[in-house]
Amino acid sequence: MTPVTRGEPTLQAIDLTKRFPGVTALDSVSIDIHPGEVHALVGENGAGKSTLIKLINGVYGADEGELRLEGEAVAFAGPRQAWEAGISTTFQEINLEPFMTVAQNLLLGREPMRGFGLVDVKKMNADAARLLRRYGIAFDERRPLGSVGVAVQQMIAIVRAVSTDAKVVILDEPTSSLEPNEVEQLFRVIRILRDDGVALLYVSHDLDEIFELCDQVTVLRDGRTVHTGPVANITRLELVATMLGRDVQDVRSSGKTAFDIEGRRIGEPVLSASGLSRYRVLSDVSVDVRAGEVVGLAGLLGSGRSETVQGIFGLLRLDDGEIKVNQVVLKRGSPAAAVSEGVGLLPEDRKAEGIVPTMSVKDNITLAAGRSVAKWGFVSSSKVEEIVGKYVDRLQIKVTDLDQSVGELSGGNQQKVLLARLLCNDPDVVLLDEPTRGIDVGAKAEIQALIDELAVGGLAVILISSELEDVIEGSNRVFVLKEGMVVGELQGAAISEDAVMDLIAHAVTDARPESA
């Protein structure tokens, strides 16, 4: 598939570095995108994919490094400039008008005129129809754009981009909301563009798509390039391993984490979820966890691991499924009901879903404590201080003052505040979604040790982590998810990185969840 002589790359990013306060989002990343090639960009959450895209399409400026378009150094002051220079990103809705027709959108700003400032509607529609035909899109160009499906809107955005001379097209997870037949249609358009010599950057975490469509692949991890090369030269297993930061040949020895699963005594089943389904997201997912057990959910980003715990907790509406906690059927779609039955969720996105930035450390910890700190609806400050003091000691939360604003704490300490919030409710089962993401090494080990301690104390834990070693070393059992389905359950000695990666790479799902 890859031509032997590829000529000059259309777009070259050279040693791009982007720092945000406290974190280097992208560290000296280079990527070459050649004309007539589809270049896949993959990586887990926080790997730096979206930062790289935003550096290329002008949303951010790079702190270091250079961007070359057709050999010439370029620097964009904003997305508009990048777009005018020929770098187009799908989902740039600024360029599309939902109330205008498909034809008007396609030819916006360059409509054929009839004189007197009047648009030649007939010619415009004919031109638009020709464009659509060329890319195999069967669609009435006179319909308003807003009335067509997301897939067609996307294709129209792409067609509009290339018909205005786009040299580079960036597709950011274009299939995430498409039906299987729409995916095929989109791929057809992408292949026509490729054959026309457009350089395409394709962001996805769907392995099947990458192997079906892409010529080159670049893997980012923790803001660095960990692999770049032709898709034909890498196996699925190798790709999964690089994405997760593992080495296939040399699986590292255990002991990387602070987990110690020896001391746990597994007890009675506490939570069992069966047949969790949601259109396009989850398909018949069943998981369970017992007292004293840590159950890991493994899978790539988008595999449905977070959605599973959100479904259990009632944050994600389910089409079907039953959740039982201590033999009691949980009311669906109600986090409050889940909490009162003894379920707690540590959300994946600490800032957006966890902390209340306008409240103090003290109030954040006891936010959900309810009855244990309040009598007749009045909060007892002595009880609050007692509970907060206990958890600040136990979790070693570093604060200068309990009335300090929670926003002033470091990521690790904020995470501990949220863990304390969960624990002071005295739960039977906790769902921990990425408990150690984005925090420093020391806090990470402390939190891992804490999870251990909780399990030994009889708590049932469901653990999600994009760090495979966390799941491998921390879990008594592991469910492996792929495309919204459970593709395997591993237990005890059978839990290994090889086994998990093998399931992720090779397990066959029925294409997409909805067809199951």
Partner 1 sequence: MTAVTSPAPAVTSEKTWRFIRENGVYLALAAVVLFNLIATPNFASLRNAQLQLVQVAPVVIVALGMAIVIGTAGIDLSVGAVMALAAAMVAVFVEQSPWLAIGMALVAGVLAGILNGSLVAFLGIQPIIATLGLFVAGRGVALAFTSGRLVEIFDPTLAALGQNRLWGVPVAALLAGLLALVTSLMVRRTQFGRNLIAVGGNPRAALGAGLPVRRVLLIVYVICAVFAAIAGTLVTSRSAAADPSFVGLLIELSAITAVVVGGTPLSGGKVRVLGTVAGAFLMQLVFSTLIRHDLSDADARMVQAAIIIGAVYFQRDRGAK
| Residue 100 binds partner 1, judged by CB under 8 A | no
| Residue 462 binds partner 1, judged by CB under 8 A | no
- Torsion of Cα atoms, 434 then 318 then 171 then 65, to 10°: -20
78, 255, 357, 442: which one contacts partner 1 (CB under 8 A)?
357
Closest distance to partner 1 from the beta carbon of 287 (Å)? 20
259, 313, 391, 479: which one contacts partner 1 (CB under 8 A)?
313
| Residue 363 binds partner 1, judged by CB under 8 A | yes
| Residue 316 binds partner 1, judged by CB under 8 A | no
Tokens encoding 297: 């959910």
Q: Residue 17: which residues within 8 A CB-CB, separation 6 or more?
A: 24, 26, 27, 28, 29, 62, 63, 64, 65
| Residue 352 binds partner 1, judged by CB under 8 A | yes
Q: Which residue's CB is nearer to partner 1, number 336 or number 511?
A: 336
Closest distance to partner 1 from the beta carbon of 356 (Å)? 4
Tokens encoding 476: 């008594």
Q: Residue 131: which residues within 8 A CB-CB, separation 6 or more?
A: 106, 159, 163
Closest distance to partner 1 from the beta carbon of 421 (Å)? 6
- Please give the backbone phi and psi of residue 169, each rounded to the nearest 5 degrees, phi first: -120, 125
Q: Which residue's CB is nearer to partner 1, number 359 or number 499?
A: 359
Q: Which residue's CB is nearer to partner 1, number 154 or number 413?
A: 413
CB 258, CB 425: distance < 8 Å: no
CB 457, CB 275: distance < 8 Å: no
| Residue 345 binds partner 1, judged by CB under 8 A | yes
Closest distance to partner 1 from the beta carbon of 503 (Å)? 30
Concatenate the DSSP letters of all residues of 421-453 into one string.
HHHTT--SEEEEESTTTTS-HHHHHHHHHHHHH
Q: Rounded to the nearest 5 degrees, what angle is found at the Cα of 215, between the Cα atoms of 213 and 216?
A: 125
CB 327, CB 342: distance < 8 Å: no
- Torsion of Cα atoms, 477 then 482 then 487 then 488, to 10°: -20
Region binding partner 1 by CB under 8 A among candidate stretches 10-18, 66-74, 372-380, 448-456: 372-380
354, 412, 488, 513: which one contacts partner 1 (CB under 8 A)?
354
Q: Which residue's CB is nearer to partner 1, number 92 or number 340?
A: 340
Among candidate residues 188, 187, 135, the one with its CA nearest the CA of residue 160 = 135
Closest distance to partner 1 from the beta carbon of 377 (Å)? 5
Closest distance to partner 1 from the beta carbon of 431 (Å)? 11
Tokens encoding 339: 């909490």
| Residue 379 binds partner 1, judged by CB under 8 A | yes
Instruction: Tell me how far apart the alpha carbons of residues 144 and 101 are, in angstroms, rounded to a whole number.
Output: 4
Region binding partner 1 by CB under 8 A among candidate stretches 30-38, 72-80, 362-370, 385-393: 362-370
| Residue 368 binds partner 1, judged by CB under 8 A | yes
Region binding partner 1 by CB under 8 A among candidate stretches 105-113, 255-263, 334-342, 499-507: 334-342
43, 174, 347, 412: which one contacts partner 1 (CB under 8 A)?
347
Largest CA distance in the chain: 84
Closest distance to partner 1 from the beta carbon of 435 (Å)? 14
Tokens encoding 192: 């026509």
Region binding partner 1 by CB under 8 A among candidate stretches 70-78, 115-123, 170-178, 349-357: 349-357
- Site size for partner 1, by CB under 8 A? 28
Name the amino acid, one letter, at 226.
V
**What is the number of other CB atoms lying within 10 angstroms of the CB of residue 450?**
18
Q: Which residue's CB is nearer to partner 1, number 98 or number 357?
A: 357
Q: Rounded to the nearest 5 degrees, what angle is found at the Cα of 212, between the Cα atoms of 207 and 214?
A: 85
| Residue 179 binds partner 1, judged by CB under 8 A | no
94, 377, 441, 508: which one contacts partner 1 (CB under 8 A)?
377
Closest distance to partner 1 from the beta carbon of 364 (Å)? 9
**Interface residue list for partner 1 (CB under 8 A):** 313, 315, 335-336, 338-340, 345, 347, 352-359, 363, 367-368, 370, 373-374, 377-379, 421, 425
